[in-house]
Amino acid sequence: MVAEQKIIISESDQKAFDERFMAVSLRYAYRHRGLTGTNPAVGTVLVDFSKAIPEIVGVGATAIGGRPHAEAVALKEAGDRARGATAYVSLEPCAHHGGTPPCAEALIKAGVVRVVTAYVDPDQRVDGKGHQMLRDAQITVESGLLNNQAAWDMRGYLSRVKYGRPHVMLKIAMTRDGFMGAHGKGQIKITGVEAKRQTHLMRMQSDAILVGAHTVVEDNPQLSVRLAGLEQFSPKIFVLSNSSLPNDLKLQQGQVTLIGSDRKAHKEWIAKGAGFLGIEQQEGLLCLADMLEDMAALGIASLMVEGGATTAQHFLEAGLVDELVLYEASKKLAELVDVNKVDAIAAPVNASHLDEKWHLVEEQSLGQDLMKRYKYKKDA
């Protein structure tokens, strides 16, 4: 009987393989972003290096709702082929007992011989313990591969765990000359179909949407996900308001949480199923920092702020915006309304006058509109 020859992989080839398979892990994690409850969206790829050409034997993403975890999904697909494999995991495997045994323990029992991770889980129940559990079982552990991309993909989860507040994304759609709309004109269609679809996708990937009362009354939006087959993934809706809202709005009262300092002002909506989050005022304005802490306590990791201009300005002035998404339409306001008969609403920010701490991370054309995504560099 001829002994099986051990495959020798050069250091440079191994590095290239590692980066390639970790990238696959990150893409799998992205599949369920915003849909995994309070658990992070993680990806796992199991690779068999015993043959001349490495083979993926199992893949997994954290399931919708948060269970099972990505490692468990990949191990189930791989079956016995997990023994001797290398696991690429976008976040350190958990080390604590929850609804299921720790994922680190599952990898050990499956016979995995090497684990490569992108990011150390800052959750105090893990925070290096998963890696140590694997090392104690004589499994090779390497961490930090593509960690910047992993951190960006998991920005909501990391913000809630590390800073005690959700990651805040501010989305603004404006005309080519920098206006968000006009007072008394309701919702003006500034961007086209492609940009609208992208907005619905961002809603689906967010835990919650927040708007100001003025926008709700003026525009009467639905704030739901209206992409075919994804309607059930509409996020929670929060409305900043210190006064009562009309009863004939499109928002479904049972899906809305009102934020203010006076619960009595919203008694009719509350009676019909709306929630209420009470926060204090400072100098006549609701304290947004306290509000974000309360949202994190409710399990919200990613918050999409959709407007209007005043609400956006307050978040920007408070330094609470982590990500800025600007839609720049191809048309000027005068091409949409008679500017001589309206009071135009200027956008509080535009791409040509951004602080140097805003770093462009994505730019793409959506039909005739242009989307620019920025992240705030806190250490700049």
Report pLDDT digits (tens) over 184-206.
Answer: 777 889 999 999 999 999 999 99
Buried b (16+ CB within 10 A) or exposed e, 135-168: eeeebebebebbeeebeebbbbbbbbbeeebbbb
Kindly report, residue by residue over 203-228, the tens digit of the pLDDT. 999 999 999 999 999 889 999 999 99
Closest by CA to 90, choosing from 62, 67, 57, 68, is 62
Residue 4 has pLDDT above 60, yes or no: no
Domain 11-153 has CATH 3.40.140.10: yes
Higher pLDDT, 101 or 43: 43
pLDDT on residue 342: 83
User: Which of the listed ranges 125-139, 173-187, 244-258, 348-362 does the model predict with the highest average pLDDT?
Assistant: 125-139
Locate CATH 3.40.430.10 in the chain. 164-376
List the structure tokens of 202: 């961002």
Kindly report, residue by residue over 271-327, the tens digit of the pLDDT. 999 999 999 988 778 899 999 999 999 999 999 999 889 999 999 999 999 999 999
Closest by CA to 172, choosing from 365, 353, 346, is 346
Q: Which helix H or strand E contains 276, and what residues bound it?
A: strand 275-278
CA distance 167 to 236: 15
pLDDT on residue 260: 94
Q: How far apart are the first and last CA of the chain?
A: 63
pLDDT on residue 107: 98
Enzyme catalytic residues = 71
Locate CATH 3.40.140.10 in the chain. 11-153
| Average pLDDT of the residues of the chain | 93
Residue 2 has pLDDT above 60, yes or no: no
DSSP-assigned states of every residue in 91-140: SPPP-S-SSS--HHHHHHHHT--EEEES----STTTTTHHHHHHHHTT-E
Kindly report, residue by residue over 227-268, the tens digit of the pLDDT. 999 999 999 999 999 889 998 899 988 889 999 999 999 999
Domain 164-376 has CATH 2.60.120.200: no
Could you tell me the pTM of the whole model?
0.92
DSSP-assigned states of every residue in 138-174: T-EEEE-TTHHHHHHHTHHHHHHHHHSS-EEEEEEEE
Strands 86-89 and 114-117: parallel
CA distance 196 to 171: 12
pLDDT on residue 1: 39
List the structure tokens of 101: 């045994």
Tell me if 69 sits within 8 A of 26, measured CB to CB. Answer: no
CA distance 217 to 309: 14
Closest by CA to 88, choosing from 13, 20, 11, 8, is 20
Phi-psi domain of 186 (left: phi exceeds 0; alpha: psi -120 through 50; beta: other): left
Question: What confidence category does residue 3 fall into, taking pLDDT thresholds of 50, 70 and 90?
Answer: very low
Instruction: Identify residue 317 by its one-letter amino acid code.
Output: E
List the structure tokens of 74: 């990949």
pLDDT on residue 211: 97
Higher pLDDT, 3 or 270: 270
List the structure tokens of 107: 């990898």
CA distance 195 to 371: 8
Question: What confidence category does residue 351 fall into, taking pLDDT thresholds of 50, 70 and 90?
Answer: confident
